[in-house]
Each structure stands twice: as structure tokens, then as C-alpha cells.
Amino acid sequence: MFTNADPNFLILLLIFFVIAHVAFGFASRWTNSLFLLAGVFIILSPISAAVDFPFIKFVKLGRVYVTILLLLVGFFGHRLYKFGPTATVFLIYVGLYVLAGLWSDAPLDAMKYKGLYGLVALAGLMLAQGLRDFRDLELGMRALAVGIAIFAVLMVLDFLKHPNLILHRGRLGFWGINPNRIGQTLAPMLIVLAYLALYDRTRIWRLSAYAIGIIVGIQLMYTGSRGAVGEAALGCFVIAIPLFKRPGMLIVVGAIVGIAVLFTFITAGSDAPVRLLHGSLETREGIWAYARSQFAEAPLFGKGWIYNTTERGLSSRNMHSIYLQTAVEVGLLGITVMGIMLLVVITRGIGMFKYVKSVGIETHTVYLAWAFVIAVLGHGIIEAGSVRGGTINGLMLPFGLGLFDRLPTLVRAARQQWVESEQIESEFDDNEDQLLTNDDAFANA
């Protein structure tokens, strides 16, 4: 990779590497370092699948580096050694899913592909576990929004430079990225932006999130990816549930979404948006039938890893369902562990929801956690990208699961801080009353 590279390019790359790390060090003084790295991951992850991007090998390497750096910062910097019950049971499932590659026909290649997913999943859990307070969460979500904005602008600039960008079967393409991959990249981005647009405390960030969200939403519809649009719609709906108590705000948000959808259908240069209205699963029937046949060949422990053979070597094969992917690669053992994991997740999620709502502090955050979990698991019915390689969904699902464990702790800390501040204020009032009494006594004397 480096031996054939232009020396001038390598020098520029080294300079950029140094500047990026210095900037990261300074920015970490104000924003959680884990979220800063996650924001960079959000940019690199989709571009690492851009076959037409001239420096794709460096981007792939950068994505892996950022993932490992996030883990190192979390482990050594934030001392994240322990996880809650939800995160632990999810890690058991992920560990089994990854290690299943050892009994495949190509264990080394399997561990390369599945191991990357394992690292990303662990990074997502650390992202949640590393939160210090709710202010930390707000600043962290803003850092993710900056990464999202950069990626969205890159797509817009490339589209303006090449107006015929919609070439891949009449759907949005970007540096050769598969439209479905673009879709499942933009969907979790839209969930992040929806949360900021509705609940950020600063008006400029809310307005910025609306603006970026409109761009990302239009781009998402141009992909024609029904699964990704469904994921975004499901996640944003969960985020917006509290608005049902504020019908005026709900109408405004609905109008913005409606205008964006109408604009997309009017200006579309292809039938990609129209494709979203078709509910057929014909494109999935063939691969799902293949998945069932592969499962029948190894029903107990699965194939370990199922792959395609290409000119560039072996690559992970998509069963277009995280549930079928698990069944094929880990068999009944994997399905059983996944079922137990989902049962624990639902139980813990409901308990977290009830507790935070009962306390009444930062209640909107529970919808953020559930939005990522419901949206990604729902999307997983028809797409397996969330458990394959280093995708944004693969990062945000464990982030949502990690919040199931972390939010009650943050709420208790916030509640204790509020109680202590009330006690201090009460003591101050008592002291002030005593001083006034003494003053009156002195005046009377």
C-alpha cells in the first residue's frame, strides 16, 4: 500500500495525521473524546466502501485505526473495564458470532471480517458507558452531527460536480458505494439529527440539525432503499413520541418532512423515490431461500462464516437479515443466544424506561436509546449490514443498548446533584433568615 504511493502524498498524509491528532487533543478538552472519534468513524465508514474513491485503501486503514483508537482511549483514558447487564449479554452474543468464524472453511478471513464487527460493537458500548453526564451526551451528539454534516456535504459537492450521479440502476450512487449501503449509512445519521433538532438546548444547533436533516433525508430517499427509509422512519418516530403532547410542534415537524418528501418526488431524475412505494420482497426471496438451505446443512453450530469468492479474495456474504445471518453462521446455538439476548434487552429497556420516566429527569433520552435499538433491529429483518464489518448501524445499535445500562446511572447522579443543590439553597435561606433575625434583635436593642 505504502511502497507504491507518491512520496509527496505520504508526506501530506503524515502532516494531516499529526494535525488531526493535535486537533483531537484540543477538542477533547471540551467534548468527550470517544464521540469525537465516533464522528470521524461516521465519515470514514461509508467511504471505506466507495470502490471509486482514489484513496480507498487508506480510508479502510483509517477506519480500522479510528476504531482501535476509540477502544484504547475508552480502556486506558476513560477506564471502561466493566459493563452493565444489557451490554454484557450483548457482548456474549457478539463474541459467539465472531468466534464462530474459527470453525468456518476460511478461519483467518472470517476473523478479519467478523473481528472488525466485534471491535465496532465494543466501541459502541464504550460510547455509551463513557458518558459522564447528560451535558456530555448533548455535546457528544453534536460531535456526531458535525461528522454527519461533513459526509452530507461531500455527497452534495460530488453531486454538483457530477449531476449524473444517480447511475446505479437509477438510484443514488456516491463514489461507487452501493445505494443500499448509502441508505443504511444515512438512516442512523437521520436519527441523530432528529434528536438534536427536537431536544438540543441551543437554538443554533436545533436549526442546524433541521437543515442538515433535510439534506440527509432527501439523499436517503434518492437511494431508493426501502429498508433504510423504514429504519429512519421508525427511529425518528420513536424520537418524536414526546411531541404527541405538543401538537403544534408535531404539525411543524410533519410539515417539514412532508415538504422534503414532496420536493424529492418532484425533482427526482430517476424512479428511485417511486421505488419506496413498492412493498415487494422479491429481491430478498432468492437469498433468503439460499440462507435456509445453508442453515439446513449445518443446523446446530452453523457454517461459521459464509462468504463470496472474488478476484480480490474472499468477502463476507450478505444474507440480508441479521437473524438469518446468525442462523446460517452460528446455527441453533447462535439463534438461542440471540433470543436470550433480545429477551434481556427488552426487559432491561422497559425497566430503564419506567425508571427514568418516574424520576422525570432528561426523559427524552430514553427515546434516543430505544430509537437506535428498535430501528436497527427492525432494519435487520431485511438487511444484515449491522453485523457485517464496520458500519454505522453496527456502532449505533450497541450505543443504544449501552444507554439502557447507563441512563439510570446518569439520572441517579443528576437527581443527587439536584437534591444537594436544594439542600445548599435551603441551608443558605436558613442562614439568611437567622441573620435577619439577629439584625432585628440588634436593632431593637
Rounded-to-integer distance, Cα 432 and Cα 261, Å: 60
What per-residue confidence (pLDDT) applies to 2? 53
**What per-residue confidence (pLDDT) applies to 335?**
95
CB atoms within 10 A of CB 194: 27
Helical pair 392-444 and 134-161, crossing angle rounded to 10 deg: 140
| CB-count burial class (<10 Å; 0-12, 13-18, 19+) for 301 | middle
Helix ranges (DSSP H) in 360-391 = 364-379
Q: Contact 372/396 with Cβ under 8 angstroms?
A: yes
- pLDDT string in tens for the chain (445-residue length): 555 656 776 777 788 778 887 888 888 888 899 999 999 999 999 998 888 777 788 889 999 999 999 999 999 988 988 899 999 999 999 999 999 999 998 999 899 889 999 999 999 999 999 999 999 999 999 999 999 999 999 888 887 777 665 555 567 777 878 888 888 999 999 999 999 999 999 999 999 999 999 999 988 888 878 888 899 999 999 999 998 888 888 788 888 888 887 777 776 666 666 677 676 677 788 899 999 999 999 999 999 999 888 777 788 888 999 999 999 999 999 999 999 999 999 999 999 999 999 998 899 999 999 999 999 999 999 998 899 888 999 999 999 999 999 999 999 988 888 777 666 555 545 555 554 454 454 345 4
pTM of the model: 0.89
| pLDDT value at residue 193 | 95
CA distance 92 to 395: 16
- Which residue from 339, 335, 46 is spatially nearest to 180, judged by alpha carbons? 46
Residue reference for cell 459467539: 96
At 292 the three-state DSSP class reads helix
Q: How far is CA 214 from CA 139, 156, 210, 257, 444, in A?
A: 21, 12, 6, 8, 70
Cell of 94: 457478539
> CA angle at residue 143 from 390 to 353, to 5 degrees?
80
β-partners of residue 307 are 316
Strand partners, 308: 315
User: What is the per-residue pLDDT for 151?
Assistant: 93
Can you tell me the distance from the alpha carbon of 132 to that of 278, in angstroms, rounded to the nearest whole number?
44
Q: Cell 452534495, residue?
A: 156
How far apart are alpha carbons 160 and 157 in whole angstroms?
5
Q: What is the pLDDT of residue 316?
A: 85
At 238, which helix (H) or strand (E)? Answer: helix 226-239
Angle of helix 322-359 relative to helix 392-444, nearest 10 degrees?
A: 10
Nearest to 226 by CA among 273, 166, 174: 273
User: From the CA atom positions of the chain, what is the Rg in Å?
Assistant: 24
Annotate 164-188 with b (16+ C-beta within 10 A) or e (fewer).
ebbebebbbbbbebbbbbbbbbbbb
The Cα–Cα gap between 29 and 301 comes to 47
